Amino acid sequence: MTEYKDLLLELGCEELPAREQPVLQEAGAVLMGQLLDGAGIRFGTIHPYVAPRRIAFWVENVALHTISREEIRRGPTMERAFSGGQPTAAAMGFARSCGVDIDALEPMETEKGPLLVWRRSLAPASTTQFLPGIASRLIGGLPLRKRMRWADREESFSRPLRWLLLRFGTDILPWQEYGLLAEGHSFGHRVHHPGPVTFAHPRDYVESLRKAHVVASWQERRTAIAESIGKMAEELDSRPVLPDILLDEITGLNEWPVALAGGFDSSYLTIPEEVLVTVMVQHQRYIPLKSRAGGELMPRYAFVANISSRDPLTVIQGNNRVLRARLADAAFFWDQDRRSSLESRLAGLDGILFQEGLGTIADKVRRLVFLAPQLASSFGCDRNLLERSAQLCKADLLSGMVGEFPELQGIMGGHYARNDREEEGVVTAIAQHYRPATREDPIPDSPAAQALAVADRIDTLFGFFALGKFPSGDRDPYALRRAALGILRTALEGGLHLSITALVQSAGQAYAGVFAPQQEEAAKSRLTDFFTERLRVLFREEGFSADQVHAVLTADADDPLDARSRLENLAQFLSRHEAASSLAAVIRRISNILRKEELDGRNPVRESDLTDPAEIRLWNEWQAIRPAVRKFLGEGKHGAALDLLAGLESTVDQFFAEVLVLSDDMRLRNNRLALLHDLQSVFASIADFSALQGR
């Protein structure tokens, strides 16, 4: 008798958002495994599938019966459960919820202390009875960004559900959700095979759908699209502009992808390339083609159709017409916008609201004109150039091109500034001051563009924080995390020493008179902490350990580039020095002593009060390397400083072994504490060694 069957679950729906599909596929597979595990059901490989009109999971070798197991339900803490040896209302309520007497409950030690629990043994049961419930919990647990309701249903999903499929081997299981009853068949391509798709066994699902013009596997579709576009581009002696984000989206739009190539009139190539690419990629999901030889944009493009047409030329001509209309609009705006200078548009910025409570775009520009030149010395650029760039950087918001294609703000400002014969530094600063717009986007190239980009972001951050509109949980409607990350990336990738405190202070000055003093101070404090947390997340994503990141940022998080240097050198020091662990333990011990004694560190070490040979030796060795250590620290060579300090490890060990630091003689006691403080202050300028775990 067969001990296992394959399970197949499919949700059929209207077209799912393309960018959510990979997330649903991955998260759904994990959730399916967790639900089966939680029910005590053994299973083999989970194969997730996602396409525009379906999410499916084929699970191999699902056991026919659950395993024997013990279920433990946790209740209140023992402290809450009993008072004076008698059960409390909390304990009695927990017993009632379990359907047992209080005597059936027992204590259990946990990581949170002793809890009152109920244990029960579960005998093997038929898997079939659990699978409909698991299917329902899977639907409810999928990470949908937005949910919608349809018809008169109370339930919600990403898109309206149209059919359900739940098969266990050849059996169709009784499962009902969203007013739908699960059936044993799927449905094919909306055009090529709109009817039911039947198959004998769950393992036949993928191939049966393929015959119905549906490629169920997201990864298979993605690979096929990339290969077909690459081959087509090669035949046209070109290379495709196909970033991963566009490839992912095209994959999510097509169940039966067919690659085709179209073209447009070469006269449109006089429009800036960024406009053409934006029209094709952002608005049409087309793939621009560039010359393989020179890299210039060609009047050709590729696209993917979700249909295998008997007349591909008609499909291509239809897409050409759509693109031609969009390009004609872009050409019109390009010609019209250049008839007015950026400067002539400035007055109109008073009519565009930036944010309620923060004024208009014109108010923001005035703040940038004040703020950006203050960053000139930090970024090594000309104050006058920055002031002019800040004055003009938002003027393109009133252009027809940006009104039609908001993604081009800044970029078009650069083109229009060049048309107005502004100097090239101003052109670049305006064009790049929105970068980086995404994690993949590079930082601005020029120092002036970097300074303007930082000024723009810190102005936004300070204003929203002063209004109390800061990110909460996973909600960040104003993209403030991205703004802070842009500033940090600009400093780190640009090799710039930037004081976050000074930056926040300058932003506050630009808002002078807008907020009450208490609002300003709260914004400064909270915003500075926000940058520290963003830096913590960034360093953790780069692979540094949590305790090392915490140790470095606790010491000082004001200069991101300096913090990165200290973190890198600390990580290298701890990994390559045999004495690193014991030295870290010694510094932690010193920190603990000084913390308890609350020494203010103002008393200098008096050599005449050094009496014990061990403390004299420590003092002499420390004095011998101190100038070099201070020099290295001043030059930012934290690794070299740590290497020198590592040489003190045995001497410090001897000091603690032979010297009574907390002597009853207050003169000796204070002098020894002063010595330790002098030594500890050097380590503390690099990191808080007391925060390092297991070292």
Whole-number Å distance between alpha carbons of 393 and 595: 51
Are residues 45 and 10 part of one domain? Answer: yes
What sign for the dihedral angle of Cα 217, 218, 221, 227? negative
Comparison of pLDDT for 321 and 637, the residue scoring more = 321
Query: In residues, how long is the chain?
Result: 695
Task: Say if residues 177 and 155 touch (Cβ distance below 8 Å).
Answer: yes
Q: Which of 318, 337, 356 is the last residue of a domain?
A: 337
The predicted structure's pLDDT at residue 363:
97
Q: Which of 337, 353, 369 is the last residue of a domain?
A: 337
Q: Which region holds residue 655: left if phi is over 0, alpha if psi is between -120 and 50, else beta?
A: alpha
Q: Does residue 492 belong to any structural domain of this protein?
A: yes
Mean pLDDT of 149-177: 93
What are φ and ψ of residue 606, in 5° steps?
A: -100, 115
What does the buried/exposed string (b/e) look like for 665-695 if buried means 16 or more CB atoms within 10 Å of the residue's CB?
eeebbbbbbbbbbbbbebbbebbbbbbbeeb
Task: Say if residues 395 and 346 touch (Cβ distance below 8 Å).
Answer: yes
The predicted structure's pLDDT at residue 695:
45
Alpha helices by DSSP H, listed for 100-217, are 131-141, 205-211
Mean pLDDT of 235-241: 96
Per the structure, how many domains does the chain have?
5
Mean pLDDT of 428-437: 96
Count CB atoms within 10 A of the CB of residue 308.
Answer: 14
Are residues 514 and 501 part of one domain? Answer: yes
Whole-number Å distance between alpha carbons of 37 and 634: 57
Q: Residue 440 — very low, low, confident or very high, per pLDDT cuts 50/70/90?
A: confident
pTM for the predicted model, two decimal places: 0.82
Judging by beta carbons within 10 Å of its beta carbon (0-12, 13-18, 19+), is residue 266 exposed, middle or buried?
Answer: exposed
- The range of the structural domain enclosing residue 534 comes to 343-543
Mean pLDDT of 182-211: 96
Are residues 458 and 349 part of one domain? Answer: yes
Mean pLDDT of 151-169: 92
Task: Say if residues 103 and 160 touch (Cβ distance below 8 Å).
Answer: no
The CATH number for 676's domain is 1.10.730
Are residues 510 and 404 part of one domain? Answer: yes
pLDDT one-digit tens code per residue, 441-475? 999 999 999 999 999 999 999 999 999 998 988 78
Q: Does residue 272 belong to any structural domain of this protein?
A: yes
Q: Does residue 551 belong to any structural domain of this protein?
A: no
The predicted structure's pLDDT at residue 13:
96
Residue 599: pLDDT above 60?
no
Count CB atoms within 10 A of the CB of residue 602.
Answer: 7
Residue 675: pLDDT above 80?
yes
Q: Residue 688 — very low, low, confident or very high, per pLDDT cuts 50/70/90?
A: confident
Q: Residue 184 — very low, low, confident or very high, per pLDDT cuts 50/70/90?
A: very high
The predicted structure's pLDDT at residue 577:
66
Cis peptide before 613 (omega within 30 of 0): no
Over the chain, what is the mean pLDDT?
92
3-class DSSP assignment, residue 143: coil
Residue 271: pLDDT above 60?
yes
The CATH number for 375's domain is 1.10.3210
Residue 538: pLDDT above 70?
yes
Q: Residue 153 — very low, low, confident or very high, per pLDDT cuts 50/70/90?
A: confident
Q: Which of 285, 308, 337 is the last residue of a domain?
A: 337
Are residues 46 and 78 part of one domain? Answer: no
Residue 296: pLDDT above 90?
yes
The predicted structure's pLDDT at residue 1:
43
Alpha helices by DSSP H, listed for 242-311, are 244-253, 273-278
The predicted structure's pLDDT at residue 461:
98
- Which is it for strands 46-51 and 54-63: parallel, antiparallel or unpaired? antiparallel
Q: Residue 2 — very low, low, confident or very high, per pLDDT cuts 50/70/90?
A: low
Are residues 473 and 378 part of one domain? Answer: yes
The CATH number for 187's domain is 3.30.70.260
As separate numbers, helices (DSSP H) first and strands (DSSP E) second, the chain gives: 26, 20
Are residues 348 and 330 part of one domain? Answer: no
Comparison of pLDDT for 321 and 656, the residue scoring more = 321
Place of tokens 């090594």: 380
3-class DSSP assignment, residue 625: helix
Query: Which percentage of the chain shows pLDDT scores above 70?
Result: 98
Q: Does residue 672 belong to any structural domain of this protein?
A: yes
Q: Does residue 511 belong to any structural domain of this protein?
A: yes
pLDDT one-digit tens code per residue, 378-418? 999 999 999 999 999 999 999 999 999 999 999 999 999 99
Residue 694: pLDDT above 70?
no
Q: Does residue 433 belong to any structural domain of this protein?
A: yes
Closest CA to 396 of 422, 372, 376, 367: 422
Q: Residue 102 — very low, low, confident or very high, per pLDDT cuts 50/70/90?
A: confident
Are residues 141 and 197 part of one domain? Answer: yes
The predicted structure's pLDDT at residue 284:
94
Mean pLDDT of 214-222: 97
The predicted structure's pLDDT at residue 349:
97
Are residues 609 and 528 part of one domain? Answer: no
Q: Residue 554 — very low, low, confident or very high, per pLDDT cuts 50/70/90?
A: very high
Task: Say if residues 509 and 373 touch (Cβ distance below 8 Å).
Answer: no
The predicted structure's pLDDT at residue 456:
98
Q: Does residue 386 belong to any structural domain of this protein?
A: yes
Q: Does residue 548 belong to any structural domain of this protein?
A: no
pLDDT one-digit tens code per residue, 624-670? 999 999 999 888 888 888 888 888 888 888 888 898 888 888 889 88
What are φ and ψ of residue 228, in 5° steps?
A: -70, -40
- Mean pLDDT check: name the lowest of 277-281, 524-528, 580-584: 580-584
The predicted structure's pLDDT at residue 679:
87
The predicted structure's pLDDT at residue 119:
85
- Cα angle 472, 475, 479 (rounded to 5 degrees) comes to 100
Mean pLDDT of 684-692: 84
Are residues 310 and 356 part of one domain? Answer: no
Are residues 232 and 196 part of one domain? Answer: no
Are residues 461 and 314 part of one domain? Answer: no
- Whole-angstrom CA distances from 672 to 38, 143, 655 are 60, 59, 10
Query: Which percentage of the chain shows pLDDT scores above 90?
Result: 72
